Chains A and B, each alone.
Chain A
Amino acid sequence: MTSKTTRSKVIEAEKLGLTFDANDGPVHALKDVDLAIEKGDFVSFIGPSGCGKTTLLRVIADLEHPTAGSITVNGMTPEQARLERAYGYVFQAPALLAWRTIERNIGLPLEIMGLSAAEKADRVARTLELVGLDGFGRKFPWQLSGGMQQRASIARALAFDADLLLMDEPFGALDEIVRDHLNEQLLQLWKKTGKTICFVTHSIPEAVYLSNKIVVMSPRPGRVTDIIESDLPAERPLDIRESKRFLEIAQRVRTGLREGHSYE
């Protein structure tokens, strides 16, 4: 990591905390989270469910407001970043609008940004192909399988083409083969575009395969317990997952997760 000092910070969080006021008392979804994500990082967030992964992503996206600490996105407040359309967000569920075809769903953010029809059509066609949905553009979401719907929602975030991509368990509902394929595609996209990607997952191999930085989290209160820098080569064929280095990193993640659990 020689260039570390020269790279600019995309996300910086200090002592970040968020407490929900639920009916049965406060829920500490995030507590004392310190985090620095640099431009071009591929960061995976991993941890048991309820440890605040989604909440952290939503704070970055200005969909949730922190109750303690500070956070900046591209050096701005999350709200400013959102208004500047600094990030694309892939939700856990497809969230496609039922009255729009797949094409028009992917075009929705472009429509809102006010792009020209030609530019829109071009980007829609390109991203459809990227996620392997060419030929399905004229279908309505409810005519596609759940996995295809999720791919359409990824295409929608990619068409938006922001430098920061926030993805909340985007492949959680997909089968293994599609998942492998999309993992490869995502890696290639990352290498080609140099986007900064925040990726929530609960699969250890997926986290190790994709990222150069793995943030291990643990619940109650939701906090970061370990940040693992991965030194796997940039070129990652799928069978790198059998390599010794890969398994070592995976082991470290597993240990981190287990330690997080023993806190309770």
Chain B
Amino acid sequence: MTGFQRTIASLGGAAGLAAMVLAITDLGTSGIGLILGGILLAGVGLRHRTGVMPQARLDLAASLGGMVLLLSMLDGDMPAASWPLLIACWLVGWLAVEKSLAARDMSPTMSSIVSLAVPVFFGAWIIFVWEMLTVGLQVPTVLLPPPSMIAVRFAESTSILWADFQQTVIKAALSGYIIGCGSAFIIAILIDRVPFLQRGLLPVGNFISALPIVGIAPIMVMWFGFDWQSKAAVVVVMTFFPMLVNTVAGLQATQAMERDLLRTYASSYFQLLLKLRLPTAAPFIFNALKINSTLALIGAIVAEFFGTPIVGLGFRISTEVGRMNVDMVWAEIVVAALAGSLSYGLLSLLEKQVTFWHPSNRRKIQ
């Protein structure tokens, strides 16, 4: 056990102790549950000073137990003892994660479970603390609604959310993304052999990338109308140049010796392209695809602020904010976040498959 882990453990134990003492002095409002919770976390945290039963499982269980206890008594009037208990749960849970990450003699499946569980645990914690704070401290819902309220709104409005998702993510963002990335890829290959176009087009590209979306979006609405086509056009403009610049750079990343090698085989232009230059460019291209997946979503949503039919993530967000329906705004944000992380995750997965040979991915294959 490292000194750092020991510090977290002691702090967690101390917080549990504080919760217990506070709960005893204020027995009327706290109830027996908080006392027991305080004792549990104090014991689990402070046991590390003695070295008995060091398993991470025990820490995790105590942390989760404390969380369940806190959730079960969650209302607008939390006793003072619940806050040190929340801190104790956080510290002891953190300790469990630290210990499992540091464990050396882990089977591969176990270690992949751990590496998957950590971000899930982390996300769950943020939602939990968010819920505790907004409900427990009675934060006005207009400022920040609790996750439970957003979840209810989400469940009640699935058909609206689905329609908005289709309009903004599938029609506008995805088609714009495919057209933007696809055409940039083809043009990058075409200008690769023409230094004049490379020198001329890349600075223009940087210039256009710097244009503010609030300027482009209204123009595109004038050109392509109110429906999703104008949003797709905004996405095309936003995604085109990152892809172009990255592909051009990737095509130039081959090494002189590798090019010479294919030259000695008298390989044709297309053979050189397919067998050497595109594989070398793949990491660059995936970089652009990942950046663009985020850009496309932002572009499609923001573009809807400048005129749209009455459907779409951006439209809904701007109108529901006006009506103070902040829970609906958050539900739309959840949709956008899910779509964004899902596409980014899929692209990363595909990237790992395609560029498995790249030094940054090699460790995984033996």
Complex CA gap A85/B275 in Å reads: 18
The verdict on B156 contacting chain A, using a C-beta distance below 8 Å, is: no
B276 pairs with A85, CB closer than 8 A: no
A113 pairs with B265, CB closer than 8 A: yes
Contact check: which of A84, A87, A95, A113 meets B261 at CB < 8 Å?
A95
A82 in contact with B266 given A111-B275, A112-B271, A142-B362 (CB within 8 Å) = yes
Residues of B within 8 A of A140 (CB): 357, 365
Please count how many residues in chain B sit with their CB below 8 Å of the partner chain's CB atoms.
Answer: 23
Complex CA gap A59/B34 in Å reads: 84
The verdict on A238 contacting chain B, using a C-beta distance below 8 Å, is: no
Complex CA gap A93/B255 in Å reads: 12
B275 pairs with A63, CB closer than 8 A: no
A109 pairs with B358, CB closer than 8 A: no
The verdict on A247 contacting chain B, using a C-beta distance below 8 Å, is: no
The verdict on B75 contacting chain A, using a C-beta distance below 8 Å, is: no
Complex CA gap A130/B265 in Å reads: 21
Task: Indicate the member of B255, B260, B366 with the most A CB atoms within 10 Å.
Answer: B260
The verdict on A83 contacting chain B, using a C-beta distance below 8 Å, is: yes
A-B contact pairs, 17 of them (CB 8 A): A85-B265, A89-B264, A91-B261, A93-B257, A95-B258, A95-B260, A95-B261, A97-B279, A99-B279, A99-B355, A99-B356, A99-B357, A108-B265, A108-B275, A109-B265, A112-B271, A142-B359
Which residues in chain A, 105-129, are within 8 Å of chain B measured between CB atoms? 108-109, 111-113
Complex CA gap A82/B279 in Å reads: 25
Q: Which residue of B lies closest to A93 (CB)?
A: B257
B264 pairs with A82, CB closer than 8 A: yes
A63 in contact with B263 given A95-B258, A111-B275 (CB within 8 Å) = yes
Residues of A within 8 A of B365 (CB): 140
Interface residues of B (CB under 8 A from A): 255, 257-258, 260-267, 271, 275-276, 279, 355-359, 362, 365-366
A112 in contact with B257 given A98-B357, A99-B279 (CB within 8 Å) = no
Residues of A within 8 A of B255 (CB): 95
Residues of A within 8 A of B359 (CB): 142
Complex CA gap A84/B258 in Å reads: 20
Interface size class on chain A is: 20 to 34
List 19 other contacts, CB 8 Å, given A112-B267, A112-B275: A62-B263, A63-B260, A82-B263, A82-B266, A87-B264, A91-B257, A91-B261, A93-B257, A95-B255, A95-B257, A97-B276, A97-B279, A98-B357, A98-B358, A99-B357, A111-B275, A112-B271, A140-B357, A142-B362
The verdict on A199 contacting chain B, using a C-beta distance below 8 Å, is: no
Q: How far is the CB of B270 from chain A (nearest CB, A)?
A: 11
Residues of A within 8 A of B261 (CB): 89, 91, 95
The verdict on A198 contacting chain B, using a C-beta distance below 8 Å, is: no
Residues of A within 8 A of B275 (CB): 97, 108, 111-112
Task: Indicate the member of B258, B266, B271, B366 with the most A CB atoms within 10 Å.
Answer: B266
Contact check: which of B260, B265, B357 meets A112 at CB < 8 Å?
B265
Residues of B within 8 A of A83 (CB): 266
Complex CA gap A111/B279 in Å reads: 16
Q: Which residue of B lies closest to A111 (CB)?
A: B275
Q: How far is the CB of B317 from chain A (nearest CB, A)?
A: 43
The verdict on A42 contacting chain B, using a C-beta distance below 8 Å, is: no
Residues of A within 8 A of B366 (CB): 143
Complex CA gap A140/B359 in Å reads: 12
0/1 interface trace, chain A 69-104, chain B, CB 8 Å (1 if under) = 000000000000011110111010101011100000
Complex CA gap A95/B262 in Å reads: 10
Q: Which residue of B lies closest to A166 (CB)?
A: B264
Residues of B within 8 A of A93 (CB): 257
Residues of B within 8 A of A99 (CB): 279, 355-357
Q: How far is the CB of A82 from chain B (nearest CB, A)?
A: 6
Contact check: which of B257, B258, B266 meets A85 at CB < 8 Å?
B266
Complex CA gap A98/B365 in Å reads: 13
B265 pairs with A63, CB closer than 8 A: no
| Nearest 8 interchain pairs by C-beta | A98-B357, A99-B357, A89-B264, A95-B257, A109-B265, A112-B265, A112-B267, A83-B266
0/1 interface trace, chain A 34-71, chain B, CB 8 Å (1 if under) = 00000000000000000000000010011100000000
0/1 interface trace, chain A 114-154, chain B, CB 8 Å (1 if under) = 00000000000000000000000000101100000000000
Q: Which residue of A lies closest to B279 (CB)?
A: A99
B260 pairs with A91, CB closer than 8 A: yes
The verdict on A160 contacting chain B, using a C-beta distance below 8 Å, is: yes
Q: Which residue of A lies closest to B264 (CB)?
A: A89
A63 pairs with B358, CB closer than 8 A: no
Q: Which residue of A lies closest to B255 (CB)?
A: A95
Residues of B within 8 A of A109 (CB): 265
Q: How far is the CB of A230 from chain B (nearest CB, A)?
A: 28
Residues of A within 8 A of B265 (CB): 85, 108-109, 112-113, 160
